[in-house]
């Protein structure tokens, strides 16, 4: 136990925690939106994120972006990768909805069945990247860690005076990017006409249909939005960590789901609060003990929070929050 | 929309069918249809090669099995007809057990090359012992296999892990000249004991120890510990999947001190996964480098279309020992076991002999430090930890 290390480096650990938590929060949005509208945990969402990271690699490879490229190339490649990852992830989420959920919903299957088909979709996607694509295309597909070129190289942009904390360009991109996407999504759901439909279906699907809200379209919209956010998370993740792998989504998905529950599942702002809180708790725990204790500490905090706030830190669901 | 639902179902069905087909395709180990093989003279045998031929760790096993096949192909058997059969375990002890039972129960098998990994070897060595069939492992390095409960039939061509930690520590102090080493492990069965042994050998030359987790990708807390400790070298005990992001983040943070790992990082996948950040990283391995201009390297390249990879020479040597046994007149498992145990001779990888536990004799224990140069591991220097 080394509390001195935590106290002396508190600023640094907080920044590390926010960076980690921003990515959790963006992935958590997908879980929380789907839950808010359908009361369903989409277990294939972790693979929606995974597809996004591979798309980033694909874009970089296709346009030949490598580390050390010129400024125009860096900006162009990053933006193109962002758009492609958002589209690919949203497309994957939509495909999962069409294949695994919609046919069952039409037949009125019990809620448990959706969980199983979701897990099934998740496994299929993992195996597609770990095995099937490898058989057809060879490398880089397969069950190994894959390098993604660091197109955006890490550089210190400024140092916070007083505490002497160096802030790099990648961290700024991750934190600002995550918060901007969150605010945009929050505004969309709370202000726009389509967003009102989402909240209406979340509150009371039957009444919403009677009022002329197309429930199927709302569900599609929710999967697309959640998928697009996972795509953003995928780009930010690759900017920070420069790798991908066929099962990369598993741990991130688990942590993001935890973050969603911690913040209050079904609540968009809860995902942000839960993600950042979980990220910071994990990094603090790793600083005091070591990283092999991260999960112990994180889940103890989850249990303690849920004991006192069973609906999560912010509680409430998508529909009830500022309906 | 009903039409499109049908379409999606069709797509899903096709995808599932594709999966099933490709699954069939990969589980077939291509052993051939040789059956019992007792039709010829009295020297008609099979040798089994057991290991992870598919899955995430195949890149550190397949070259050794190819090496064994090459030794067999080059052998002039005279009256003998010998065939090697490959058994894929994916490195999983649970999958290796039925394979071992099958091999031990088929009398036409006279020897086993493997297990390639320690876990599967631990799970199967008593089965082979009961069957009396000699094993020569090209790459199983866990200490307990021979030091805690040895079996007579088990032999290996690589020294056990206790030596590896000592070799890494020796490299750090003698070659790097490090006095402040930061030691990290992955908190599991391979990395933790290895790092323990490094720590033990380094003594005061280690300044701090940190533990990480399997599956971890964000190492920010470890990086900040490294930054405040200011080491002059970093050692990691673990596998490629975590070493790649760890090393990238170390270099991203501007920490340029030497980085060294154990044979868990040995294999072509390390260079691919870590990219430019891995330049100059060192990997310690009990595998001797293969001279690229040697006839073995040329023959291997011709047969398999690439330079000999991990443990290819050890695989070749393992097969050679069995073939020499047949030349010597061993015609059953007991005779082969006796021959292997007493074998001495020069191999490609080292001068081969087995001590009473089936281990490499202490004076033969040798490691090589490989440096990652432009994405491939190049031999740098030989380290003899036992001296």
Reported ipTM: the value is 0.88
Distance CA A120, CA B16 (A): 11
Res. A276 pLDDT band, cuts 50 70 90: very high
Tokens of A130: 């770990």
Q: Tokens 């909240």, residue?
A: A199
Does the pLDDT at position B357 exceed 80? yes
What pLDDT is recorded for position B375?
84
Q: Does A217 contact chain B (CB < 8 Å)?
A: no
Q: How far apart are CA B372 and CA B271, in angstroms?
A: 7
Q: Which residue has the tokens 């500022």?
A: A322
Average pLDDT value over all residues in chain A:
90
Please tell me which of A87-91, A154-158, B200-204 the model is most confident about, judged by mean pLDDT: A87-91
- Cα B266 from chain centroid (whole Å): 8
Q: Looking at residue B12, what is its pLDDT?
A: 54
On chain A, the residues whose CB falls within 8 A of the CB of B222 are 286, 290-291
- Residue B11 pLDDT greater than 80, yes or no: no
- Which of B218, B219, B273 has its CB closest to that of A146? B273
3-state class (DSSP) for residue B192: helix
Chain B hits for A67, Cβ within 8 Å: 276
Q: Which of A20, A131, A243 sits opposite B273 (nearest CB)?
A: A243
- List pLDDT tens digits, range A87-134: 999 999 999 999 999 999 999 889 889 999 999 999 999 999 988 898
Answer for the pair B366, B347: CB distance below 8 angstroms, yes or no: no
For residue B213, list chain A residues with Cβ-Cβ distance below 8 A.
Answer: 291-292, 294-295
| b (16+ CB within 10 A) / e for A266-299 | bbbbbbbbbbbbbbbbbbbbbbbbbbbbbbebbe
**Full DSSP string of B216-271:** ----HHHHHHHHHH--SEEEEES-HHHHHHHHHHHHHTT--S-EEE-GGG-SHHHH
Please report the residues numbered 240 through 299 in chain A whose beta carbons come closer than 8 angstroms to any beta carbon of chain B. 240-243, 245, 248, 250-251, 283, 286-287, 290-292, 294-295
DSSP B309: -
Q: Closest-CA residue in chain A for B251?
A: A154
Does residue A147 lie in a domain region?
yes
Is the per-residue pLDDT at B15 higher than 80? Answer: no
State the nearest Cα–Cα gap between A323 and chain B, in angstroms.
Answer: 31
Contacts of A135 in chain B (CB under 8 A): 22, 25-26
Which of the residues B19, B25, B220 would you substitute to probe the A interface, choosing the one with the greatest number of A C-beta atoms within 10 Å?
Answer: B220
Are A290 and B269 a contacting pair at CB < 8 A? Answer: no
- Counting every residue written for chain B, the total comes to 387
The class level of CATH for B162-285+367-383 reads alpha beta
Is residue B118 within 8 angstroms of chain A, CB to CB? no
Q: How many CB pairs under 8 A join A and B?
A: 126
The pLDDT score that the predictor gives to residue B24 is: 44
Q: Which residues on chain B are in Cβ contact (under 8 Å) with A128?
A: 15, 19
8 Å CB contact of B5 and A127: no
Q: Does residue B1 surpass a pLDDT of 50? A: no
**Domain segments of chain B as ranges:** 44-159+291-354, 162-285+367-383
> How does the average pLDDT of chain B come out, rounded?
85
B213 to A294: CB separation less than 8 angstroms, yes or no: yes
In this predicted structure, the answer to whether residue B2 has a pLDDT above a threshold of 80 is no
Angle, alpha carbons A50-A44-A93 (nearest 5°): 75
Predicted local confidence at residue B372, as pLDDT: 92
The range of the structural domain enclosing residue A143 comes to 29-245
- Find out if CATH 3.40.50.2300 is the number for domain B44-159+291-354: yes
Chain A positions touching B211 (Cβ under 8 A) are 290-292
B284 forms bridges with which residues in the sheet? Answer: B369
Residues of B within 8 A of A12 (CB-CB) are: 224
Considering the domain boundaries, does residue A166 fall inside one?
yes
Which residues contact residue A229 at a Cβ distance below 8 angstroms, ignoring those fewer than 6 apart? Answer: A26, A27, A29, A30, A181, A185
Mean pLDDT to the nearest integer, B62-79: 91
* Residue B381, strand partner residues: B369
DSSP reduced 3-state for B378: strand
For residue B126, the distance in angstroms to the closest alpha carbon of chain A comes to 31
Angle between the N-to-C axes of helices A215-241 and A71-96, in degrees from 0 to 180, rounded to the nearest 10:
140
Report, as an integer, the average pLDDT of B23-49. 55
B63, B100 contact by CB (below 8 A):
no
Q: What mean pLDDT is predicted for residues B363-383?
A: 89
Is there a contact between A295 and B245 if contact means CB atoms under 8 Å apart? no
Domains B44-159+291-354 and B162-285+367-383 are alike in CATH topology: yes
Q: Among all residues of chain A, which has the CA nearest to that of B250?
A: A241
Instruction: Give per-residue burial for A44-78: e unless 16+ CB within 10 Å, then b.
Output: bbbbbbbbbbbbbbebbeeeebebebeeeebeebb
| Contact criterion met (CB < 8 Å) for A291 and B213 | yes
Are β-strands B351-353 and B344-346 bridged in parallel, bridged antiparallel, or unpaired?
antiparallel
- Band (pLDDT 50/70/90 cuts) for residue B37 is very low
Percentage of chain B surpassing pLDDT 70? 89
Which class for B171: exposed (0-12), middle (13-18), buried (19 or more C-beta within 10 A)? buried
Query: Per-residue pLDDT for B8 more than 60?
Result: no
Q: How many domains does chain A have?
A: 1
CA distance A97 to chain B (A): 11
Q: Which of B25, B211, B220 sits opposite A292 (nearest CB)?
A: B211
Q: Tell me how far apart the alpha carbons of residues A184 and A67 are, in angstroms, rounded to a whole number.
A: 30
CB contact under 8 A, B241 and A245: yes
Residue of B nearest to A251 (CA): B215
For B125-161, how does the pLDDT look when each residue is reduced to its tens digit (9 = 90+)?
Answer: 999 999 999 999 998 888 888 988 889 999 999 998 8
Quickly list H helices, chain A.
3-8, 10-38, 45-63, 71-96, 102-106, 111-127, 133-137, 169-191, 193-203, 205-210, 215-241, 248-263, 268-288, 294-308
Question: What's the DSSP call for residue B282?
Answer: E
Segment holding B126, helix H or strand E:
helix B118-131
Write out residues 97-126 of A within 8 Å (CB-CB) of B.
Answer: 98-99, 102-103, 106, 124
Q: Please give, rounded to a whole number of angstroms, the shortest distance from the CA of B165 to a CA of chain A.
A: 21
The residue among A9 and A42 whose pLDDT is bigger is: A42
Closest residue in A to B192 (Cα–Cα)? A292
Beta-carbon contacts of residue B53 (< 8 Å; ≥ 6 apart): B29, B61, B62, B65, B86, B87, B88, B89, B90
For residues B59-82, average pLDDT: 89
pLDDT value at residue A64: 87
Extract the tokens encoding B205: 């030359």
B136 to chain A, closest Cα gap in Å: 28
pLDDT band at B225 (very low <50, low <70, confident <90, very high): very high
Residue at token pair 């490649």: A77
Which chain A residues touch B215 with a CB distance below 8 Å?
250-251
The reported pLDDT for the residue numbered B172 is: 94
Q: Is B222 on the interface with A (CB under 8 A)?
A: yes
Q: Is residue A75 one of the residues assigned to a domain? A: yes
Query: For A49, phi and psi rounded to 5 degrees?
Result: -65, -45
Label residue A320 by pLDDT band (50, 70, 90).
Answer: low
């Amino acid at each position: 136990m080394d509390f001195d290390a935590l106290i002396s480096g508190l600023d640094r650990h907080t920044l590390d925690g926010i960076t980690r938590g921003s990515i959790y929060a963006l992935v958590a949005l997908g879980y929380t939106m789907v839950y808010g509208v359908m009361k369903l945990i989409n277990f294939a969402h972790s693979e929606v994120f995974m597809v996004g990271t591979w798309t980033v690699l694909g874009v970089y490879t296709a346009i030949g972006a490598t580390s050390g490229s010129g400024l125009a190339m860096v900006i162009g490649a990053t933006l193109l990768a962002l758009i492609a990852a958002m589209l690919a992830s949203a497309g994957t989420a939509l495909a999962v909805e069409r294949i695994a959920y919609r046919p069952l919903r039409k037949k009125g299957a019990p809620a448990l069945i959706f969980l199983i088909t979701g897990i099934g979709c998740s496994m299929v996607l993992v195996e597609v990247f770990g095995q099937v694509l490898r058989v057809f295309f060879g490398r880089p597909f397969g069950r190994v860690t894959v390098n993604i070129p660091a197109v955006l190289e890490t550089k210190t942009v400024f140092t916070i005076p007083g505490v002497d904390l160096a802030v790099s360009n990648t961290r700024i991109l991750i934190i600002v990017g995550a918060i901007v996407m969150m605010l945009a999504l929050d505004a969309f759901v709370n202000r726009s006409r389509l967003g009102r439909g989402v909240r209406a279906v979340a509150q009371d699907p039957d009444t919403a249909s009677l009022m002329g809200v197309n429930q199927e379209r709302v569900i599609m919209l929710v999967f697309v939005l959640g998928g697009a956010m996972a795509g953003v998370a995928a780009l930010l993740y690759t900017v920070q960590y420069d790798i991908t792998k066929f099962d990369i989504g598993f741990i991130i998905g688990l942590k993001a789901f935890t973050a969603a529950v911690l913040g209050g599942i079904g609540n968009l702002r809860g995902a942000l609060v839960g993600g950042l809180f979980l990220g910071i708790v994990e990094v603090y725990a790793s600083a005091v003990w070591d990283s092999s204790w991260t999960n112990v500490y994180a889940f103890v905090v989850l249990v303690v929070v849920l004991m006192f706030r069973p609906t999560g830190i912010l509680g409430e669901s998508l529909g009830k929050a500022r309906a | 929309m009903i039409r499109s639902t049908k379409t999606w179902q069709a797509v899903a069905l096709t995808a599932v069918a594709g999966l099933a087909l490709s699954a069939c395709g990969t589980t077939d180990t291509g052993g051939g249809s040789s059956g019992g093989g007792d039709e010829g003279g009295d020297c008609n045998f099979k040798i089994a090669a057991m290991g992870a031929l598919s899955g995430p760790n195949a890149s550190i096993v397949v070259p050794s099995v190819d090496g064994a096949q090459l030794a067999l192909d080059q052998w002039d058997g005279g009256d003998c007809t010998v065939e090697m059969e490959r058994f894929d375990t994916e490195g999983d002890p649970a999958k290796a057990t039925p394979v071992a039972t099958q091999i031990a129960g088929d009398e036409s098998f006279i020897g086993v090359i493997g297990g390639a990994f320690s876990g599967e070897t631990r799970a199967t060595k008593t089965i082979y012992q009961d069957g009396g069939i000699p094993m020569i492992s090209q790459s199983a390095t866990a200490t307990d296999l021979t030091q805690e409960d040895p079996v007579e039939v088990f032999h290996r061509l690589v020294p056990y892990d206790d030596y590896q930690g000592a070799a890494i520590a020796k490299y750090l102090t003698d070659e790097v000249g490090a006095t402040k080493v930061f030691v990290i492990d992955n908190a599991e069965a391979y990395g933790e004991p290895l790092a323990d042994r490094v720590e033990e050998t380094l003594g005061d030359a280690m300044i701090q120890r940190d533990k990480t987790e399997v599956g971890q990708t964000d190492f920010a807390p470890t990086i900040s510990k490294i930054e405040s400790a200011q080491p002059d070298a970093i050692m990691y005990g673990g596998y490629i999947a975590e070493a790649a992001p760890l090393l990238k983040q170390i270099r991203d943070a501007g920490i340029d001190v030497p980085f060294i790992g154990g044979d868990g990082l040995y294999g072509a996948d390390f260079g691919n996964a870590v990219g430019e950040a891995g330049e100059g990283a060192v990997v310690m391995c009990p595998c001797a480098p293969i001279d690229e201009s040697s006839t073995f390297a040329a023959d291997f390249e011709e047969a398999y279309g690439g330079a000999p990879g991990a443990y290819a020479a050890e695989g070749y040597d393992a097969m050679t020992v069995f073939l020499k046994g047949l030349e010597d007149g061993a015609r059953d498992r007991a005779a082969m076991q006796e021959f292997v145990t007493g074998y001495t001779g020069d191999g490609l990888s080292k001068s081969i002999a087995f001590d009473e536990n089936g281990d490499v004799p202490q004076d033969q224990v040798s490691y090589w430090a490989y440096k990652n140069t432009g994405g491939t591991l190049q031999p740098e220097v030989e380290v003899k930890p036992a001296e």
